Amino acid sequence: MLKSVRYLPQCALAVVLILIGQVAVFGQDQANTSQPKSTKSTSTKSKKRKKKKTSSTSFIILGSPNQAASVVEVPATATFESPVSQPAAPTIRAEKSSGIKISPKGSLPPPGVATAGQIIISEFRVRGSGGATDEFIEIYNASGSDHTVSSAGSGYAVAASDGVARCVIPNGTVIPNRGHYLCANSVGYSLASYPAGNGTTATADATYTTDIPDNAGVAIFNVSNPVDFILANRLDAVGSTSEANTLYKEGTGYSALSPFSIDYSFVRDLCGKQGSITTFGPCTANTPVDTDNNATNFFFVDTNAFSAGAGQRLGAPGPENLSSPIQRNASVSIDLLDPCAAAAAPPNRVRDFTPGPSATSQSGTLDIRRTLTNNTGGNVTRLRFRIIDLTTFPNPSGIADLRPLTSPDVAETVDRAPCGSGTSSVTVRGTTLETPPTQPNGGGFNSSLSSNTVTLATPLANGATIDVRFLLGIQQTGSFKIYFNTELLP
């Protein structure tokens, strides 16, 4: 049945569009993948420039504290090893006591139990390339501090709309601030070797074997006994428009999918633009957005940008578990590789016009280089970057179609402060597009690029820097944007 769905076309528009851009005239916050030295006349340029301004093209790599835009839920400034005190325990007790009256048990929940929105579903799928049971549900700690699971039952249940718990996160489990917990169907889950922490992969923290039907809702409760699966005990839910039980979705739900067995997932928005390919400007969030509206808080990605009923977007599932690196944008700074050169000029940005593989780079590549500084206060032993916003397929004309790729190390000559007093040679470290799933068209939304030279044996010390590159295949030229979250482990 996959055959009937549209594949990524090899877009022939690239050649036509290659002369549109004028990188140099826009300055460092403007971006275009076309030829820097346009042969177009000045009058054409100014016309173009006016037009572009309305669409506010921009390019920034998220990462430095002053770029960590306002966040819907959790200020990204907190470091995960300095938890704040338990979240307002007395208030929680009072709140839950009214809810608990409905419970047959009649017992007060223990102090510290999570409340709605504190522990949420951040990514999931109920089918995959491995078939109907290739499922996972990723849980995220949005509480603002490390959270110790503490329920009146045996833990927090993740249940489908048949009312049957699939996983229970046991009492006593500590989910780090901004960390994850992974629940997966052990019968079909196919992404267990997707990279996670140091020497670990995205294996499930808890498993189940009973299939979740296509488009069925899923919810997480702060209880484990199914009789207590009621709204007052619900932490979060996500379901489709075809889910009848409103306990298992928020709002009207995400658009129901045709049941294709593809490498897709629904990802909670990490940028605040609802996965829009065409919306430029800075992200307004860098942690999962939860406004209790599944239709706008989650977007659909898959590795071939199929149209399956819930929007089309090149990207990849990225299941994260307790061992996975954690978003710490506020604890690193990301600067130009060469602070004495313009952001849009080499060696900070290198445009290679040589056509590459037709599936990823038919119009060449764009190579973005940055210097990351570890400000965490300790070693960094694992480092990767997750794409939270991107121009990619399916893009309208005038918008670039970018495909993040694996890149090797490269030697580069840089000028650093004080500028003009001599140059030095540095090694710019390549980054690796993490798989599975295989991403034959390059990466996309939610894909991750790893700095594999940072390891337990070779950590990045506090205050130390690493020069990194992000290689982007270009399928179609035009205005572009790309935003990353920095995920790391101490």
Residue ranges that bind Ca ion, judged by CB under 5 A: 123, 126-127, 132, 138, 211-212, 236, 290, 292, 318, 320
Least gap, CB of 138 to Ca ion (angstroms)? 5
Q: For Ca ion, which is the closer residue by CB, 123 or 243?
A: 123
d(CA 435, CA 130): 15
What does the block give as tokens for 10?
A: 């090899």
Q: For Ca ion, which is the closer residue by CB, 35 or 435?
A: 435
Element (H, E) at 428: strand 423-428
CA torsion through residues 36, 37, 42, 43, sign: negative
Q: For Ca ion, which is the closer residue by CB, 80 or 480?
A: 80
Rounded to an integer, what is the distance from CA 264 to the centroid of its chain? 14
Per-position DSSP letters for 32-57, written without gaps between them:
B-S-SS--S-HHHHHHHHHHHHHHT-
Least gap, CB of 435 to Ca ion (angstroms)? 14
How buried is 144 (Cβ within 10 angstroms: 0-12 exposed, 13-18 middle, 19+ buried)?
A: middle
Amino acid at 293: N
The closest alpha carbon to 462, from 81, 98, 208, belongs to: 81
Q: For Ca ion, which is the closer residue by CB, 26 or 264?
A: 264
Q: For Ca ion, which is the closer residue by CB, 208 or 306?
A: 208
Least gap, CB of 36 to Ca ion (angstroms)? 36
Q: What angle do CA 462, 386, 279 make, to 5 degrees?
A: 125
What are the CA-CA distances from residue 245 to residues 43, 124, 162, 216 (Å)?
59, 18, 9, 9
Element (H, E) at 26: helix 23-26
What are the CA-CA distances from residue 480 to residues 22, 69, 164, 343 (Å)?
12, 19, 45, 14
Least gap, CB of 367 to Ca ion (angstroms)? 26
Q: For Ca ion, which is the closer residue by CB, 52 or 234?
A: 234
**Pair 118, 74: CB distance under 8 Å:** no
Least gap, CB of 238 to Ca ion (angstroms)? 8
Least gap, CB of 418 to Ca ion (angstroms)? 42
Q: For Ca ion, which is the closer residue by CB, 123 or 367?
A: 123
Q: For Ca ion, which is the closer residue by CB, 128 or 364?
A: 128
Q: For Ca ion, which is the closer residue by CB, 32 or 392?
A: 392
The closest alpha carbon to 429, from 395, 469, 487, belongs to: 469
Least gap, CB of 140 to Ca ion (angstroms)? 8
Least gap, CB of 234 to Ca ion (angstroms)? 8
d(CA 93, CA 81): 26
Least gap, CB of 251 to Ca ion (angstroms)? 9
